Structure 1
Amino acid sequence: MKVNTRLFGEIEIEQEKIICFENGIIGFPDCKQFTLIFDETDDGARKNISWLQSLDEPSFALPVMDPLLIKEDYNPQVEHELMKSLGNLTEENTYVLVTVTVPADIKKISVNLRAPIVINVENLKAEQLIVDDSYPVKYMIYDILQNKKTKAGE
């Protein structure tokens, strides 16, 4: 499948890389098919932020990242009923992402820990969920990323 995206130009997506959100995502219920686009450094390593590109609305892509990169103890409690549509989830087949907000002032970059995206990597079914109130909608990450960058350079 070829898709002409706003951010990445024309891209070709293999059928086995299409992630299906049966209920769409929060705020975009009609966007049900996505793919993950991983940004890489010059040496081929993955960057912290990836893109969840809509195939239904090619102009729409969400920056996302693995929450464990910035909050190692992230472990929201979710009702199993909410994840039933994803099939049998195990530690090995579950991939969790959170959306990233990048404002004009980069020092105010944040992630939404209250609405994670859960993907079953075996069947490529996904859901965006709302978890308990103990996690913030805006979790500031600029200093965390800067500290990781400094430590990596040591």
Structure 2
Amino acid sequence: MELHTKYHGIVNVEEEEIIYFEHGIPGFLEERKFILLPLDENSPYFIMQSVLTPGLGFVVTEPFSFFKEYEFELTEHEKEALKIIEDSTIQVLCILSLKDPFKETTANLQAPIVINHSKTLGKQIILNDTSYTTKHKLFQEAVNK
């Protein structure tokens, strides 16, 4: 199917590439279908593009490349909602808030997106009782200078 996107123009996607968010994502509850598009070849960044709304695309990245100590545990309820079993292919992403200059960009570590690619299911998990926030500087060296 042809999909109009915010950053990539018109792209062809297969139905099995669509990630379904049963309850949408906070702030966008009606948005339940997304696809992941690499921002550029060999880039650590992706666009999580809405299938419903062409102008809605979130810039995301895998947080472990930037935050080596980042970790959290999924509850049994979250695992059930995502139909996670032992051999599931899981990906964790975080939504970025782009800044100018780019080195000031922040990552939302308090609400990671967990995708079970085996079942094409996604969920944004809100972490409670954590030191993680919605605005961690992506480039830590920028904090120390």
TM-score (norm 2): 0.88
Counterpart of 1:114 (choices 110, 113, 125) is 110
Identify if the C-alpha distance between structure 1 residues 4 and 107 changes in structure 2 by more than 3 Å, giving closer, same or farther: same
Where does 1:10-49 land on structure 2 (aligned, <5 Å)? 10-41=10-41, 46-49=42-45
User: Could you tell me how far 1:142 is from its partner in structure 2?
Assistant: 2.7
User: Could you tell me how far 1:143 is from its partner in structure 2?
Assistant: 4.2
Number of aligned pairs?
141
| 3-state SS in 2 of match to 1:40 | coil
* 2:80 corresponds to: 84
Give me the CA root mean square deviation.
1.8
* 2:46 corresponds to: 50
Identify if the C-alpha distance between structure 1 residues 62 and 144 changes in structure 2 by more than 3 Å, giving closer, same or farther: farther
User: Could you tell me how far 1:8 is from its partner in structure 2?
Assistant: 1.2
Identity of matched residues, %:
27
CA contact (8 A) 2:107 2:135 kept: yes
CA contact (8 A) 2:103 2:139 kept: yes
The one-letter amino acid of 2:139's match is Y
Identify if the C-alpha distance between structure 1 residues 89 and 116 changes in structure 2 by more than 3 Å, giving closer, same or farther: farther
* 1:62 corresponds to: 58
User: Could you tell me how far 1:6 is from its partner in structure 2?
Assistant: 2.7
Q: What is the CA deviation profile of residues 71-93 of structure 1, one whole-angstrom value per residue up to 9, with x for unaligned ones?
A: 11211133221332110244751
Give the structure with the larger helix fraction.
Answer: 1
Unaligned runs of 5+ in 2: none
Greater displacement, 106-115 / 71-80: 71-80
Distance 1:122 1:17 in 2: 11
The one-letter amino acid of 2:93's match is L
Identify if the C-alpha distance between structure 1 residues 90 and 63 changes in structure 2 by more than 3 Å, giving closer, same or farther: farther
User: Could you tell me how far 1:56 is from its partner in structure 2?
Assistant: 0.9
Distance 2:89 2:67 in 1: 20
* 1:135 corresponds to: 132
The one-letter amino acid of 1:79's match is T
CA contact (8 A) 2:3 2:12 kept: yes
Q: 4+ runs of 1 displaced by more than 3 Å?
A: 89-92
TM-score (norm 1): 0.83
| 3-state SS in 2 of match to 1:81 | helix
